[in-house]
Amino acid sequence: MEGTSGQDGAPVSSIRQVSVASLVGTALEWYDYFLFGTAAALIFNGLFFPEQDPLTGTLLAFATFGVGFGARPIGGLVFGHYGDKIGRKTMLVITLVIMGVATCAIGLLPTYAQIGIWAPILLVVLRLVQGFGVGGEWGGAVLMAVEHAPAGKRGYYGSWPQMGVPAGLVLSTVVFTIFQAMPEEQFLAWGWRIPFLLSVVLVAVGLYVRLRLMESPAFQEVDDTDTEAQMPIVEVFRTYPRNILIAMGARVGDNMLFYIFSVFALTYVTEELGLPESTALIGVMIGATIEFFLIPFFGALSDRIGRRPVYMGGAIFCMLFAFPYFWLLNTEAPALIWLAISLSLFVGHAAMYAPQASFLSELFGTRVRYSGASIGYQLAPIVGGGIAPFIAVALLAWTGSYWPIAVYMIGMAAITVVSVYLATETSFAEISDVHEEQEREVVKN
């Protein structure tokens, strides 16, 4: 396949390079982000909220986890704006540095026992910085892959940066588990910091990979013809308001469900069922590892049968699996717990998340694609994943049962089904033709 050209004339070998680079960089970004979620579920209540009872401390730790989602839309707006004006590549480098610095700083942060109330305050600030960075990272990573992809393979190549989520989840869980095996006193004193400090090494690798990339050919064409949007944020809301809402709705269910499966599950298994922390962590590692390999399968499937059937299929599976998920967890049998967490990740979430990069990208024209995809992707987690663990813990505390959480999961997945159903199927059109007429009208005016 060497020397074969894509729709824009780019050689396939360069497309593979871009896809791998997007995967590596995104995996490192999500390693940073998920590491915080694992720590919030398991140890931050005692380190930063020790004066509270365990349940309240866990709620406060999850609230700290959730505030990062409030900063993600701001990051999406800022980096989306500049990504549409000066290019995708530069934004990818900047966001990676921001995430790395914030994560490393968390590893150096004094605890409540050392500086009192300033510890949780600084933790919140650093979580906000993390959210700001990751808010701009996703759009740039997926657009580099999608806009480089040859005709008929946007779903497949666009799924590569999506593989960074399970890769980052596995990496952060494995590293955290390794250090958690230390004697508890040593782990709580200083061992928990090492996974955060290791971010420095990972960021160095990511920067090396991303600095070697060429700019997206779709953006390069806009840049060469001087047709960049002057105010991308304003233009995308004016031109594509319906598509922004569709993107948000499509994103809500998958995001909320992912954090129930990967973060809240840790708390439910350890605190509600009283099982060892390793039981849930192993389930997350198994599910995320299998999901890593199934995401490109679902991405390629969306190229053959369309984005909408694959996306809606994943959401419907999650609706049907909501109650069985908790039935399996409540058996307290490790193998069935691993099965529940694994199935939820590599079937339900993977089928939604794999075509998401190409689906959201195809909702917007090139001139405002970074802004539109980022806004849709990052606004949804405010009411989706950002508060999902908090709401789940609160529902559990209120009723003492899992059933309201299952109903909550079904409702959010239903929003995704309806939103994707209302979208137009664009998987079989050229990326430059999807909104060509709208783009010409905007440029003309």
* Contact criterion met (CB below 8 Å) for 261 and 251: no
Nearest 5°: the CA angle 265, 421, 238 is 100
Q: pLDDT tens digits for 259-282?
A: 888 888 888 998 889 898 888 889
Mean confidence (pLDDT) of the chain? 85
Quickly state the pLDDT bin for 5 (edges 50, 70, 90).
very low
- For the chain, the domain total comes to 1
Does some domain include residue 236? yes
Supply the range of the domain harboring residue 423. 12-444
Structure tokens at 320: 């049907």
What DSSP character marks residue 402?
Answer: S
Structure tokens at 1: 């396949």
What pTM does this model have?
0.81
- Measured CA to CA, the distance from residue 358 to residue 285 in angstroms comes to 26
| Residue 191 reports pLDDT greater than 80 | yes
Q: Given phi > 0 = left and psi -120 to 50 = alpha, else beta, which region is 152?
A: left
Which of residues 32 and 166 earns the better pLDDT score? 166
Q: How high is the pLDDT of residue 298?
A: 97
Amino acid at residue number 404: P
Run of H or E residues at 69: helix 54-86
Does some domain include residue 419? yes
Which residues touch 342 (CB under 8 Å, ≥6 apart)? 283, 286, 287, 290
* Contact criterion met (CB below 8 Å) for 192 and 179: yes
Does some domain include residue 219? yes
Amino acid at residue number 272: E
* Contact criterion met (CB below 8 Å) for 268 and 395: no
Q: How high is the pLDDT of residue 6?
A: 42
Domain containing 82 — which CATH number?
Answer: 1.20.1250.20
Q: pLDDT tens digits for 301-358?
A: 999 999 999 999 999 999 999 999 999 999 999 999 999 999 999 999 999 999 999 9
Contacts by 305-308, CB closer than 8 A, 24 or more apart: 306/425, 306/427, 306/428, 307/155, 307/355, 307/358, 307/359, 307/362, 307/420, 307/423, 307/425, 307/426, 307/427, 308/359, 308/420, 308/421, 308/423, 308/425
Does some domain include residue 69? yes
Does some domain include residue 2? no
Quickly state the pLDDT bin for 436 (edges 50, 70, 90).
low
| Residue 156 reports pLDDT greater than 60 | yes
Does some domain include residue 285? yes
Does some domain include residue 101? yes
How many CB atoms are located within 10 Å of the residue 3 CB? 7
Nearest 5°: the CA angle 129, 380, 269 is 80
| Residue 25 reports pLDDT greater than 90 | no
Q: How many CA atoms lie within 13 A of 26 on its CB side?
A: 29
Does some domain include residue 6? no
